[in-house]
């Protein structure tokens, strides 16, 4: 080589961070179009096309209606079939006609049938209303008088009786959604974890209970040991027809709560009446709207922050009769709930509770999210130095690693700048024996943001003529 100047270009000195998983999550659950592996969804208008109907569809539609984010989904068949109630005729019916139902419902539905014009098979007309969404007016089919309600998996059979159907007659029934077994859900979670996606959490569509919650918590703990810093969100059941709200809350906070305690698990116990983008109005679990609220916020912003507004699609808090006392009991048991606030319109997240032990630093989700982001990004910054050589001082401690410390602190400084933490720094303790252990120990310290959950005012009249404080 001829004499000259040669530059050796080194990489990694700027401390540029890797991809940011903020607001990105995965979801598993039952859907009509199952068996596709992991599918990626970003557009709420495409969810029905990709997944069809089912609890997984509802969760993702609710979330993407609130936040513009990416959701990785695994749809399951659900080997526990949905059920159909008996058909209840309207109290004022005058015709002899009746309706029976059959099939495998793809989701939970409240369905009513109204006879629009009188007659028998292939003569009278009817309209089906599914979760408040009016269908088209159709002629009752000819014998055998069966009609498949589109997208639901439910077939109606019209039985005219002696004199047929009479205009104004109504019929109603309910369907429950199919469900997956715990084994199916856990296998789907494994599919997500094995893909090593850049996500913050995994949401489990459909209701579940303490045995599954404990297994999910264990999955999240194992994932963290493999540098996948995430948490899992599940949903508790709704009140049964035979329970009072008091009995439902008592069951969830005692026997059904179990002994699960995890800083990487959340369980939503809240339920809302929600208006779907396609016009359906239905009682839905809070988990979908909650995931949307989380995805729309930065890691340090609680989903309960009032300034970000109410849940736009929520039209009522459910079940009927739930009050602040019930909500407080559920919150204290570690559940995520929704609430109304005197003086404000709308329905809000109560708080992002984790299913943690009392006294944990990770009692609310924003503390979990901030720490997980710091772990992901500090690790990414430090990977550049793995298997590198380091000078050893006379006491066996490392020397000349200011650049390593600076790069380790780089993501923390960015989080400070973004207002996500109050402070953050990295310390390398003295007295390390790197020559024997080949291990460098650093201490990463983060000062989180405070949280204003309560404001207490002292209010009194003041007379300026008297001087001083009244």
In sequence order, what DSSP letters do the residues of 201-220 get, joined into one string?
A: EEEEEEE--HHHHHHHHHHH
Average of pLDDT values for 213-236?
A: 97
Distance between alpha carbon 279 and the CA centroid of its chain, in Å? Answer: 22
| Contact predicate 192/204, CB 8 Å | no
Strand, coil or helix: what is 40?
Answer: strand
Q: Using CA atoms, how far apart are residues 134 and 131, in angstroms rounded to an integer?
A: 8
Does this model's pTM top 0.75? My answer is yes
Highest mean pLDDT (candidates 62-76, 425-439, 440-454): 62-76
Amino acid 12: pLDDT: 53
Looking at per-residue pLDDT, the higher value among 148 and 6 belongs to: 148
Average of pLDDT values for 233-247?
A: 97
Q: Using CA atoms, how far apart are residues 41 and 39, in angstroms rounded to an integer?
A: 7
Place of tokens 């429950």: 176
**Burial 399-425, CB ≥16 within 10 A → b, else e:** eebeebeebbbbbbebbbeeebbeebe
Place of tokens 């979908």: 288
Amino acid 385: pLDDT: 84
Looking at per-residue pLDDT, the higher value among 72 and 278 belongs to: 72
Q: Using CA atoms, how far apart are residues 298 and 320, in angstroms rounded to an integer?
A: 32
How far, CA to CA in Å, does 95 sit from each of 107, 121, 171, 328? 30, 13, 12, 49
Structure confidence by residue, pLDDT tens digits, 41-51:
999 999 999 99
Question: 434-442: long-range contacts at Cβ-Cβ below 8 A with a sequence spacing of 24 or more?
Answer: 434/390, 434/392, 434/396, 434/397, 434/398, 435/392, 435/396, 440/390, 440/398, 440/401, 440/404, 442/382, 442/405, 442/408
| Contact predicate 195/228, CB 8 Å | no
Structure confidence by residue, pLDDT tens digits, 404-434:
899 999 999 999 999 999 999 999 888 888 8
Q: Using CA atoms, how far apart are residues 336 and 331, in angstroms rounded to an integer?
A: 6
| Contact predicate 197/189, CB 8 Å | no
**Burial 170-209, CB ≥16 within 10 A → b, else e:** bbbbbbebbbbeeebbbebbeebbeeebebbbbbbbbbbb
Strand, coil or helix: what is 419?
Answer: coil
Q: Using CA atoms, how far apart are residues 197 and 193, in angstroms rounded to an integer?
A: 7
Average of pLDDT values for 368-391?
A: 91
Looking at per-residue pLDDT, the higher value among 16 and 429 belongs to: 429
Amino acid 468: pLDDT: 62
Q: How many residues are present in the chain?
A: 470
Where do the structural domains in the chain lie, given as residue ranges?
Answer: 25-79+179-366, 88-175, 388-470
73, pLDDT greater than 90: yes
Q: Using CA atoms, how far apart are residues 177 and 237, in angstroms rounded to an integer?
A: 12
Does domain 25-79+179-366 correspond to CATH entry 3.40.50.11780?
yes
Tokens of 349: 């997240």
For the ranges 13-27, 65-79, 111-125, 158-172, the lowest mean pLDDT is seen at 13-27
Amino acid 19: pLDDT: 60
Looking at per-residue pLDDT, the higher value among 26 and 282 belongs to: 26
Cα angle: 232, vertex 236, 237; to 5 degrees: 150
Amino acid 16: pLDDT: 54
Average of pLDDT values for 288-300?
A: 96
Residue 378 backbone dihedrals phi, psi, to 5 degrees: -65, -40
Confidence of residue 338 (pLDDT cuts 50, 70, 90): very high
Q: Using CA atoms, how far apart are residues 296 and 308, in angstroms rounded to an integer?
A: 10
Q: How many CA atoms lie within 13 A of 449 on its CB side?
A: 22
Tokens of 307: 């300034």
Q: Using CA atoms, how far apart are residues 210 and 329, in angstroms rounded to an integer?
A: 17
Q: What's the whole-number average pLDDT of the chain? A: 92
């Amino acid at each position: 080589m001829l004499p000259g100047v040669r530059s050796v270009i080194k990489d990694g000195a700027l401390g540029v961070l890797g991809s940011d998983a903020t607001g990105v999550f995965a979801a598993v659950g039952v859907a009509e179009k199952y068996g596709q592996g992991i599918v990626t969804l970003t557009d709420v208008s495409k969810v029905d096309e990709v997944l069809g109907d089912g609890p997984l569809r509802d969760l993702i539609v609710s979330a993407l209606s609130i936040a513009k984010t990416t959701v990785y989904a695994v749809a399951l068949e659900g080997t526990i079939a949905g059920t159909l109630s008996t058909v209840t005729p309207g109290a004022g019916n005058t015709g002899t006609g009746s309706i029976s139902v059959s099939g495998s419902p793809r989701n939970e539905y409240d369905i009513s049938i109204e006879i629009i014009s009188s007659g028998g098979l292939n003569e009278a007309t009817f309209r089906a209303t599914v979760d408040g969404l009016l269908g088209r007016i159709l002629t009752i089919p000819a014998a055998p008088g069966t009609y498949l309600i589109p997208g639901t998996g439910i077939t109606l059979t019209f039985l005219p009786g002696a004199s047929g159907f009479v205009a104004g007659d109504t019929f109603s029934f309910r369907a429950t959604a199919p469900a997956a077994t715990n084994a199916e859900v856990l296998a789907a979670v494994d599919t997500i974890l094995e893909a090593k996606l850049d996500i913050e959490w995994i949401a489990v569509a459909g209701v579940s209970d303490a045995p599954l919650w404990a297994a999910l918590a264990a999955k999240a703990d194992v994932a963290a040991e493999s540098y996948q810093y995430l948490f899992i969100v599940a949903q508790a059941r709704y009140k049964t027809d035979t329970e009072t709200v008091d009995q439902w809350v008592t069951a969830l906070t005692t026997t059904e709560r179990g002994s699960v305690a995890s800083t990487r698990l959340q369980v939503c116990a809240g339920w809302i009446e929600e208006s779907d983008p396609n016009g359906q109005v239905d009682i839905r679990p809070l988990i979908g709207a909650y995931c949307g609220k989380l995805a729309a916020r930065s890691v340090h912003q609680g989903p309960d922050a009032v300034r970000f507004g109410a849940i736009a699609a929520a039209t009522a808090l459910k079940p009927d009769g739930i009050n602040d006392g019930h909500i407080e009991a559920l919150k204290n048991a570690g559940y995520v709930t929704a609430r109304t606030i005197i003086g404000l319109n709308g329905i809000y997240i109560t708080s992002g509770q984790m299913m943690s032990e009392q006294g944990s630093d990770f009692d609310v989700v924003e503390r979990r999210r901030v720490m997980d982001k710091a772990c992901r990004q500090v690790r990414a910054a430090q990977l550049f130095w793995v298997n590198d050589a380091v000078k050893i001082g006379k006491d066996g401690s490392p020397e000349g690693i200011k650049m390593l410390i600076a790069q380790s602190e780089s993501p923390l400084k960015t989080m400070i700048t973004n207002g996500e933490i109050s402070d953050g720094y990295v310390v390398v303790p003295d007295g390390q024996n790197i020559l024997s252990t080949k291990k460098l120990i650093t201490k990463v310290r983060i000062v989180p943001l405070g949280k204003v959950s309560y404001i207490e005012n002292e209010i009194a009249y003041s007379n300026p003529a008297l001087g001083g404080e009244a």
